[in-house]
């Protein structure tokens, strides 16, 4: 395995992800311009030395907006997936460790929330608490809980049958301690793979919600909102839709490929087939 | 994967195209589909201030005593003629005969008395009660003659009587007009699918029915400018008289299938401030905000240059207009100084914006402009129902952006603290009473100029621009007005040239 080349999807995915995360991180400290700074006299400018990607309908620097949009997008995705993933994984471990009615409750609840369309839930939240990025985070985290609960439980169930777990139980360790010390480290790989894939979906959902006006509120920049604002400008300035669209493609594709690549590398069944 | 995000839009485009083809195949050009941004909240123009109620119902389903032409001239409607006494206080209207309501009941002078007594009554929910205020009594002389006595002469009386607020309704049906409007007009109400469309059908019993070319009018409610564009391009709708997105006009202008018109409306777009609430009760704060605004930037950015700046609350095409746009020039330093003097530097405030592009787009620019003078403005985009309920009725807001589309509406500032402006100055209220009572147009214009100067001096609101009337029409569709002196236009004037 070590001597073989890393799979192409892993490499390409990693490059795109590093690029996106790098830009997102950079935007926290520096963007070429203040993305809220209007300069309406110079709207719809093409690329130039001053504005690398030109300016939008209000004369704001496009590159700065895209960078800050990346920051928002990544922040939402990271927070939501980490939050939803932790809760989901904990519930999955709980279900696997105790079985019986605990498992039934956790798994039926997760079936229930699975049946709930993610976007619908987010729209409901926005209607109840007003549109904002924190609500988007909560919505995405919520839909991630059952996903991680299932993955964690399925993987944990396999580990519970291993000899070293029997040994640990024979040694008198409690279920909580075993879950923490033995199960969790051994199901980390599938969880991380899942998280990477969910990341891509989280970026998409954030963009969709902001596109619908339920996510980032002006002047907070967001790829989705840039897309929706560019919609009536397609005739005048198609680049305003193309850039945020491409950014979403790069980010989603990056995390998607990285997730696939990681799974290829870590999943023993797949590696045997190579 | 990005296509999953956009697929609902693509799907609806495809659907729109399909529906458009289907409907244009069936219609033998006697029906017209009109796109509209704002859906009515109810169908009774005497019950709610939403402009689209008048836009659809007034002079289509309902008639009034008078009507108004495109250039603002008052013409007879249900009142075929009238005489005015020398002191300007007694109007005698002789009414049309043989007119029937859509439910078969007969129209006569008692309906006029009923309609006006209802509008003036204690329990009246009429959004323009003020236009009935000068009326002392409504007397039935005979079945087809009504005498209206005024407390004092009212220069706007005949004009006001054309409005949807003064629609003539029948005692038999008035209660149900909110959902099943029954009037005497050239079209009867045919159906309303909320969130989608409202249909009117030609009234064959209408006196002038022979000259009405359209059998069926369908209003489609499309608030999203991109969807409106797609629907027009797909020929799913034939006309969009209040097109919301000026940036798309060049595309329609270049397309031989469409006629594009740019006219004016009576809509003054203002950054309304809640004058009853701190810090906006402080004139220094209001003036500071006026100095912070840059109208050119707002008009350029939000309206793509297709609007005229205003410096007070009066339309630039009106005869009494004075240009006050230079009173509070864009001056960041002066604005900051005034805010400091008032002790509210760096204050936070919310800007609640109704779902109209002129408002949401202006909001984004105004937010940035107020940020320059250190004010932290939170923009909240709200639904129209919420706007009417919370902001207009309950005065629950700091700032909002709204177009006041009624004609001669400077009297809004004389409506007292309970009106959503929260503004009350006896000096202006007295001035407005004088304006209403002045019969001589030249003298009235002088007073109106005074009124404009007063409102600007008080910086009651941020006065932004006059809302343009942008119209996109199928090139074969004739008769739509370029400018709107009133909120309505009867679809009886519309016809297909082929």
Q: How far is A274 from chain B (nearest CA, A)?
A: 27
Q: Is the pLDDT of residue B17 over 70?
A: no
In chain A, % of residues over pLDDT 70: 96
Any B CB within 8 A of A130 CB: yes
Backbone φ, ψ for residue B489 (5° rounding): -150, 130
Contact B418, B83 (CB under 8 A): no
Q: B484: which residues sit within 8 A by CB, 6+ positions away?
A: B70, B263, B264, B265, B266, B405, B469
Q: How far is B144 from chain A (nearest CA, A)?
A: 53
Q: A94: which residues sit within 8 A by CB, 6+ positions away?
A: A102, A106, A179
Inter-chain touch A248–B2, beta carbons under 8 Å? yes
Report if residue B3 sits inside a domain.
no
Any B CB within 8 A of A211 CB: yes
How confident is the model over A114-126, as a mean pLDDT?
Answer: 81
pLDDT at site B71: 84
pLDDT at site A4: 64
Tokens representing residue B170 in the block: 């029948």
Which has more pLDDT, A115 or B183?
B183
Q: Which chain A residues have a beta carbon less than 8 Å from that of B4?
A: 204
Q: Which chain A residues have a beta carbon less than 8 Å from that of B367?
A: 218-219
What are the pLDDT digits (tens) for B432-455? 999 988 888 899 999 999 999 999
B13 — pLDDT class (breaks 50, 70, 90) = very low
Inter-chain touch A40–B380, beta carbons under 8 Å? no
**Rg of chain B's alpha carbons, rounded to an integer?**
23
Q: What is the largest CA-CA distance in chain B?
A: 76
Q: Which chain A residues have a beta carbon less than 8 Å from that of B292?
A: none
State which residue of chain A sits closest to B6, comparing Cα positions.
A208
What domains can you pick out in chain A, each with its CATH number?
Answer: 9-15+53-273 (1.10.3720.10)
pLDDT at site B3: 32
Tokens representing residue B272 in the block: 């309304």
Inter-chain touch B381–A204, beta carbons under 8 Å? no
pLDDT at site A3: 52
- DSSP assignment of B455-479 equals HHHHT-SEEEEEEEEEEEEETTEE-
Q: Which chain B residues have a beta carbon less than 8 Å from that of A218?
A: 363-364, 367, 379
- DSSP assignment of B69-88 equals -TTS-EEESSEEEEEE-TTS
In chain A, % of residues over pLDDT 90: 56
Any B CB within 8 A of A226 CB: no
pLDDT at site B49: 84
Inter-chain touch A236–B250, beta carbons under 8 Å? yes
Q: Is the pLDDT of residue B85 over 50?
A: yes
Nearest to B127 by CA among B388, B355, B358: B388
Our CA angle for B128, B134, B135, nearest 5°, is: 95
Any B CB within 8 A of A99 CB: no
> Of A37, A38, A249, which is closest to B2 when you measure between CB atoms?
A249
Number of domains, chain B: 1
Inter-chain touch A38–B381, beta carbons under 8 Å? no
**How many contacts (CB atoms, under 8 Å) link A and B?**
67
Report if residue B418 sits inside a domain.
yes
Helix/strand/coil for B433: helix
- In angstroms, rounded to a whole number, what is the distance separating the alpha carbons of residues B4 and B357? 26
pLDDT at site B205: 93
pLDDT at site A215: 85
pLDDT at site B42: 92
How confident is the model over B214-236, as a mean pLDDT?
Answer: 93
Report if residue B305 sits inside a domain.
yes
A35 conformational bin, left if phi > 0, alpha if psi -120 to 50, beta if neither: alpha
Any B CB within 8 A of A41 CB: yes
Any A CB within 8 A of B4 CB: yes
Domain boundaries, position B436 = 266-469
Q: Distances in Å between the alpha carbon of A74 and those of A68, A79, A141?
A: 10, 8, 14
Q: How far is A242 from chain B (nearest CA, A)?
A: 12
Name the A residues in 71-90 with CB < 8 Å from any B CB.
Answer: none
Our CA angle for B360, B366, B368, nearest 5°, is: 110
Tokens representing residue B180 in the block: 């099943």
Any A CB within 8 A of B297 CB: yes
pLDDT at site B348: 94
Any A CB within 8 A of B1 CB: yes
Report if residue B115 sits inside a domain.
no
Inter-chain touch A233–B247, beta carbons under 8 Å? yes
What are the pLDDT digits (tens) for B367-389? 999 999 999 999 988 888 899 99
- DSSP assignment of B169-214 equals --TTTGGGTTTS---SSSEEEEEEETTTEEEEEE-TTSTTGGG---
pLDDT at site B11: 39
Any B CB within 8 A of A223 CB: no
- In angstroms, rounded to a whole number, what is the distance separating the alpha carbons of residues B484 and B467? 11
How confident is the model over A250-269, as a mean pLDDT?
Answer: 87
Tokens representing residue A47 in the block: 């690329």
Backbone φ, ψ for residue B308 (5° rounding): -105, 130
Contact B231, B244 (CB under 8 A): no
Sort strands B477-478 and B495-496 into parallel, antiparallel or unpaired. Answer: antiparallel
Q: Distances in Å between the alpha carbon of B335 and those of B68, B345, B377, B421?
A: 43, 10, 15, 22
According to DSSP, the residues that pair with B146 across neighbouring strands are B93, B140
State which residue of chain B sits closest to A44, comparing Cα positions.
B301
A236 — pLDDT class (breaks 50, 70, 90) = confident
Any A CB within 8 A of B485 CB: no
Contact B456, B227 (CB under 8 A): no
Backbone φ, ψ for residue B410 (5° rounding): -60, -20
Contact B291, B339 (CB under 8 A): no
pLDDT at site A212: 86
Q: How far is A245 from chain B (nearest CA, A)?
A: 7
State which residue of chain A sits closest to B369, comparing Cα positions.
A38
Q: Which chain B residues have a beta carbon less than 8 Å from that of A117?
A: none
B4 — pLDDT class (breaks 50, 70, 90) = very low
Q: Is the pLDDT of residue B89 over 60?
A: yes
Any B CB within 8 A of A270 CB: no
- Please state the pTM of the whole predicted model: 0.80
Q: A163: which residues sit within 8 A by CB, 6+ positions away?
A: none
- In angstroms, rounded to a whole number, what is the distance separating the alpha carbons of residues B323 and A262? 68
Bond preceding residue A219 cis, omega within 30 of 0: yes
Which residue's entry shows tokens 């996903």? A147
Sheet holding B79-84, edge to edge: B79-84, B90-95, B145-150, B135-142
Q: How far is A260 from chain B (nearest CA, A)?
A: 15
A99 conformational bin, left if phi > 0, alpha if psi -120 to 50, beta if neither: left
Contact A146, A113 (CB under 8 A): yes
Q: Distances in Å between the alpha carbon of B442 and those of A78, B86, B134, B320, B447?
A: 68, 19, 21, 9, 9
Any A CB within 8 A of B380 CB: yes
How confident is the model over B87-99, as a mean pLDDT?
Answer: 94
- In angstroms, rounded to a whole number, what is the distance separating the alpha carbons of residues B264 and A167? 85
Q: Is the pLDDT of residue A113 over 90?
A: no
CATH of the domain at B410: 3.10.105.10
Tokens representing residue B252 in the block: 């329609």
Sort strands B31-36 and B462-474 into parallel, antiparallel or unpaired. Answer: unpaired
> Of A131, A208, A232, which is closest to B5 when you measure between CB atoms?
A208
pLDDT at site B1: 30
Q: Which chain B residues have a beta carbon less than 8 Å from that of A207?
A: 5
Inter-chain touch B368–A253, beta carbons under 8 Å? no
- Which site among A38, A57, A210 would you substitute to test the B interface, given the most B Cβ atoms closer than 10 Å to its Cβ? A38
Inter-chain touch A232–B226, beta carbons under 8 Å? yes
Inter-chain touch B1–A235, beta carbons under 8 Å? no
Any B CB within 8 A of A28 CB: no
Report if residue B402 sits inside a domain.
yes
Backbone φ, ψ for residue B93 (5° rounding): -105, 130
State which residue of chain A sits closest to B302, comparing Cα positions.
A58
Helix/strand/coil for A172: coil
pLDDT at site A253: 95
> Of A40, A59, A204, which is closest to B1 when you measure between CB atoms?
A204
Any B CB within 8 A of A120 CB: no
Q: Is the pLDDT of residue B108 over 60?
A: yes
Any B CB within 8 A of A236 CB: yes
- Predicted complex: ipTM over 0.90: no
- Which site among B1, B10, B299, B401 would you substitute to test the A interface, given the most A Cβ atoms closer than 10 Å to its Cβ? B1
Q: How far is B244 from chain A (nearest CA, A)?
A: 11
Any A CB within 8 A of B2 CB: yes
Residue B156's Cβ-side half-sphere holds a number of Cα atoms within 13 Å equal to 22
B29 — pLDDT class (breaks 50, 70, 90) = confident
B188 — pLDDT class (breaks 50, 70, 90) = very high
Residue B148's Cβ-side half-sphere holds a number of Cα atoms within 13 Å equal to 29
Any B CB within 8 A of A249 CB: yes
pLDDT at site B16: 42
pLDDT at site B24: 45
- In angstroms, rounded to a whole number, what is the distance separating the alpha carbons of residues A232 and A31? 27
Q: Which chain B residues have a beta carbon less than 8 Å from that of A212?
A: none
Helix/strand/coil for A2: coil
What letter would DSSP give residue A219? T
How confident is the model over B270-297, as a mean pLDDT?
Answer: 95
- In angstroms, rounded to a whole number, what is the distance separating the alpha carbons of residues B127 and B224? 27
Report if residue B424 sits inside a domain.
yes
Q: Is the pLDDT of residue B230 over 70?
A: yes
How confident is the model over B449-463, as a mean pLDDT?
Answer: 96
Q: How far is B1 from chain A (nearest CA, A)?
A: 7
Q: Is the pLDDT of residue B201 over 70?
A: yes
How confident is the model over B414-443, as a mean pLDDT?
Answer: 92
A268 — pLDDT class (breaks 50, 70, 90) = low
pLDDT at site B7: 37
Report if residue B384 sits inside a domain.
yes
Q: Distances in Å between the alpha carbon of B433 and those of B150, B166, B370, B414, B456?
A: 14, 20, 35, 9, 19
Q: How far is B399 from chain A (nearest CA, A)?
A: 16
Is residue B191 exposed (0-12), middle (13-18) or buried (19+ Cβ within 10 Å)?
A: exposed
Tokens representing residue B475 in the block: 């090139």
Any B CB within 8 A of A68 CB: no
What are the pLDDT digits (tens) for A60-103? 899 999 999 999 999 999 999 999 999 999 999 999 999 889 99
Q: B138: which residues sit within 8 A by CB, 6+ positions away?
A: B112, B113, B116, B117, B146, B147, B148, B149
How confident is the model over B268-288, as a mean pLDDT?
Answer: 95
Q: A119: which residues sit within 8 A by CB, 6+ positions away?
A: A205, A208, A209
B290 conformational bin, left if phi > 0, alpha if psi -120 to 50, beta if neither: alpha
Q: B44: which residues sit within 8 A by CB, 6+ positions away?
A: B53, B57, B177, B178, B181
Any B CB within 8 A of A200 CB: yes
């Amino acid at each position: 395995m070590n001597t073989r080349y890393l799979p192409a999807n892993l490499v390409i995915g990693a490059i795109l992800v590093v690029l996106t995360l790098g830009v997102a991180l950079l935007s926290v400290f520096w963007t070429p311009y203040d993305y809220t700074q209007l300069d309406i006299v110079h709207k719809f400018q093409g690329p130039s030395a001053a504005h690398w990607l030109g300016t939008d309908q209000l004369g704001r620097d496009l590159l700065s907006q895209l960078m800050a949009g990346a920051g928002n997008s990544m922040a939402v995705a990271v927070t939501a997936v980490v939050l939803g993933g932790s809760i989901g994984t904990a519930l999955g471990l709980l279900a696997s460790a105790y079985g019986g009615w605990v498992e039934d409750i956790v798994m039926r609840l997760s079936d229930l929330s699975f049946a709930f369309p993610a976007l619908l839930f987010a729209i409901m939240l926005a209607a109840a608490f007003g549109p904002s990025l924190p609500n988007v985070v909560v919505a995405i985290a919520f839909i991630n809980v059952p996903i991680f609960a299932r993955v964690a439980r399925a993987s944990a169930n396999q580990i519970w049958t291993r000899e070293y777990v029997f040994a640990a139980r024979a040694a008198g360790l409690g279920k909580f301690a075993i879950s923490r010390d033995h199960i969790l480290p051994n199901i980390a790989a599938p969880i991380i793979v899942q998280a990477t894939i969910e990341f891509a979906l989280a970026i998409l959902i954030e963009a969709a919600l902001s596109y619908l006006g339920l996510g980032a509120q002006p002047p907070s920049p967001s790829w989705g909102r840039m897309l929706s604002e560019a919609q009536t400008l397609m005739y005048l300035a198609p680049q305003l839709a193309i850039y945020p669209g491409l950014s979403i493609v790069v980010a989603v594709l990056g995390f998607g490929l990285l997730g696939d690549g990681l799974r290829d590398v870590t999943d023993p069944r797949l590696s045997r087939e190579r | 994967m990005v296509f999953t995000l956009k697929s609902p839009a693509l799907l609806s485009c495809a659907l729109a195209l399909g529906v458009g083809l289907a409907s244009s195949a069936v219609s033998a050009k006697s029906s017209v589909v009109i796109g509209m941004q704002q859906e009515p909240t109810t169908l009774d123009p005497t019950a709610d201030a939403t402009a689209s109620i008048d836009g659809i119902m007034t002079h289509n389903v309902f008639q009034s005593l008078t009507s108004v032409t495109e250039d603002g001239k008052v013409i007879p409607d249900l009142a075929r003629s009238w005489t005015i006494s020398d002191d300007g206080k007694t109007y005698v209207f002789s009414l049309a005969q043989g007119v029937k309501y859509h439910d078969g009941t007969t129209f006569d002078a008692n309906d006029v008395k009923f309609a006006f007594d209802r509008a003036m009554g204690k329990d009246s929910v009429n959004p323009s009660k003020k236009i009935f205020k000068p009326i002392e009594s409504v007397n039935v002389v005979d079945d087809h003659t009504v005498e209206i006595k005024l407390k004092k002469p009212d220069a706007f009386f005949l004009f006001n009587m054309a409005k949807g607020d003064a629609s003539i309704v029948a005692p038999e049906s008035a209660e149900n007009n909110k959902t099943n409007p029954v009037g005497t007009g050239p079209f009867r109400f045919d159906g309303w699918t909320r969130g989608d469309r409202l249909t009117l059908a030609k009234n064959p019993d209408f006196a002038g029915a022979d000259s009405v070319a359209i059998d069926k009018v369908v209003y489609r409610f499309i608030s999203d400018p991109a969807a409106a564009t797609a629907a027009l391009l797909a020929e799913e709708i034939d006309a969009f008289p209040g097109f919301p997105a000026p940036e798309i006009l060049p595309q329609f202008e270049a397309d031989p299938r469409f006629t594009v018109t740019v006219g004016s409306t009576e809509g003054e777009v203002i950054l309304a401030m809640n004058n009853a609430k701190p810090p906006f009760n402080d004139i220094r704060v209001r003036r500071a905000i006026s100095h912070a605004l840059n109208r050119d930037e707002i008009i350029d950015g939000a309206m793509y240059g297709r609007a005229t700046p205003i410096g007070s609350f009066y339309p630039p095409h009106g005869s009494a207009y004075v240009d006050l746009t230079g009173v509070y020039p864009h001056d960041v330093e002066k604005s900051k100084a005034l805010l400091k003097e008032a002790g509210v530097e760096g204050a936070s405030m919310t800007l609640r914006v109704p779902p109209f592009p002129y408002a949401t787009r202006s909001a984004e620019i105004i937010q940035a402009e107020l940020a320059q003078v250190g004010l932290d403005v939170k923009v909240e985009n709200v639904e129209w129902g919420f706007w009417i309920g919370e902001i207009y009725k309950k005065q629950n807001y700091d700032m909002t952006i709204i177009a006041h589309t009624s004609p001669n509406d400077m009297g809004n500032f004389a409506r007292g603290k309970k009106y959503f402006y929260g503004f009350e100055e006896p000096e202006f209220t007295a001035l407005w009473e004088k304006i209403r009572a002045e019969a001589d147009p030249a003298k009235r214009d002088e007073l109106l100029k005074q009124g404009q100067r007063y409102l600007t001096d008080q910086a009651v609101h941020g006065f932004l621009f006059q809302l343009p009337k942008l119209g996109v029409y199928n090139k074969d569709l004739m008769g739509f007005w370029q400018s709107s002196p009133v909120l309505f236009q009867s679809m009886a004037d519309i016809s297909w040239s082929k």
